[in-house]
């Protein structure tokens, strides 16, 4: 990856970490505690292809993923109360995207707390169908526009947490989309909060004053009506609060994109 790798909090303690990059040691970065076991200099795609061929030459066999289908179906299942609840369950939104988006769609994911749901519930069967900006929030819209420029024939969908969206230069991105004919769909995962900040606060300070009082400063996001941001740029916007409206809203958004318009779906979520 272009940014330094750093170990996640739930990484396997005995796992082997290999960094593959054209320049694996970033000399221009002051703080760089990579902690990898091996460093390989080279193009990532070519290196992985060569490694795959080497494993096959030694008798390695492809893993049978057929058994995973049941696991994915289990994750995608939601109970009846969640399926019809308002605000909308995040899993219901992800299922609706999976069922109603074209198979060649490209997803740009700038969410945090909803990322596990997205990865478990939305198919990514085609190459280059899922991209996630790393290194800091505020890159999602620019990345989505760049992907649309590179793949104009494919639907590009920016999956944005409402907090992450506010880090982006929204008006500038929408202006570029209109001026440069780069229609994308923006789906706002709107839980009206910086939920990731609250979760991390509780994980570090489970017995702190905020946990005891229930007061978390800077977490709530009153937020604008995000769907209204599309109109000044000739786009299509809709606020979705009823889960039954999701399929129709997605299809209307796709129709707007097909006509060259940006589409913003502001989906009100339960968490």
pLDDT in tens, 37-79: 888 899 988 999 999 999 999 987 776 655 566 666 666 676 6
Query: What pLDDT, on a 0 to 100 scale, did the predictor assign at position 114?
Result: 95
Same domain, 136 and 237: yes
* Closest by Cα among 234, 214, 244, 252 to 92: 244
Residue at which a domain ends, from 11, 36, 62: 62
The pTM score is 0.82
Is 234 part of a structural domain of the chain?
Answer: yes
> DSSP letter at 89?
P
Same domain, 116 and 32: no
Please give the structure tokens belonging to residue 159: 């999956």
Is 182 part of a structural domain of the chain?
Answer: yes
Same domain, 226 and 106: yes
pLDDT in tens, 106-165: 999 999 999 999 999 999 888 899 999 887 899 999 999 999 999 999 999 999 999 999
Please give the structure tokens belonging to residue 260: 């060259």
Query: What pLDDT, on a 0 to 100 scale, did the predictor assign at position 179?
Result: 98
Is 72 part of a structural domain of the chain?
Answer: no
Same domain, 6 and 95: no
Query: What pLDDT, on a 0 to 100 scale, did the predictor assign at position 253?
Result: 99
Query: What pLDDT, on a 0 to 100 scale, did the predictor assign at position 5?
Result: 61
Same domain, 252 and 179: yes
> Cα 237–198–7 angle (5° rounding)?
100
Residue at which a domain ends, from 13, 32, 62: 62
- Domain holding 215: CATH number? 3.40.50.970
Same domain, 48 and 84: no
Same domain, 93 and 167: yes
Same domain, 175 and 247: yes
- Looking at per-residue pLDDT, the higher value among 174 and 3 belongs to 174
d(Cα 5, Cα 22) in Å, to the nearest integer?
A: 14
Domain residues for the domain of 179 are 79-268
């Amino acid at each position: 990856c272009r940014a330094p790798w750093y170990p996640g909090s739930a990484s396997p303690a005995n796992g082997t970490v290999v960094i593959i990059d054209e320049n694996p040691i970033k000399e221009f970065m002051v703080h760089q505690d990579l902690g990898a076991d091996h460093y390989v200099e080279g193009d990532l795609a070519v290196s992985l292809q060569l490694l795959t061929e080497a494993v096959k030459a030694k008798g390695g066999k492809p893993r049978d993923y057929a058994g995973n289908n049941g696991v994915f179906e289990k994750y995608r299942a939601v109970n009846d109360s969640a399926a019809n609840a308002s605000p909308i369950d995040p899993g219901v939104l992800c299922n609706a995207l999976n069922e109603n988006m074209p198979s060649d769609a490209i997803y740009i994911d700038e969410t945090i707390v909803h990322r596990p749901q997205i990865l478990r519930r939305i198919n990514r069967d085609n190459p280059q169908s899922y991209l996630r900006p790393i290194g800091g929030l505020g890159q999602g819209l620019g990345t989505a526009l760049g992907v649309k420029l590179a793949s104009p024939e494919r639907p590009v969908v920016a999956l944005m947490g409402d907090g992450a969206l506010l880090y982006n230069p929204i008006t500038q991105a929408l202006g570029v989309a209109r001026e440069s004919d780069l229609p994308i769909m923006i789906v706002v995962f709107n839980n009206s909060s910086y939920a990731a900040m609250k979760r991390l606060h509780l994980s570090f300070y489970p017995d702190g004053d905020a946990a005891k009082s229930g007061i978390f400063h800077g977490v709530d996001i009153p937020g604008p009506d995000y769907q209204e941001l599309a109109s000044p740029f000739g786009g299509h916007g809709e606020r979705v609060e009823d889960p039954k409206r999701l399929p129709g809203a997605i299809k209307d958004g796709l129709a707007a994109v097909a006509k060259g318009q940006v589409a913003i779906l502001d989906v009100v979520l339960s968490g």
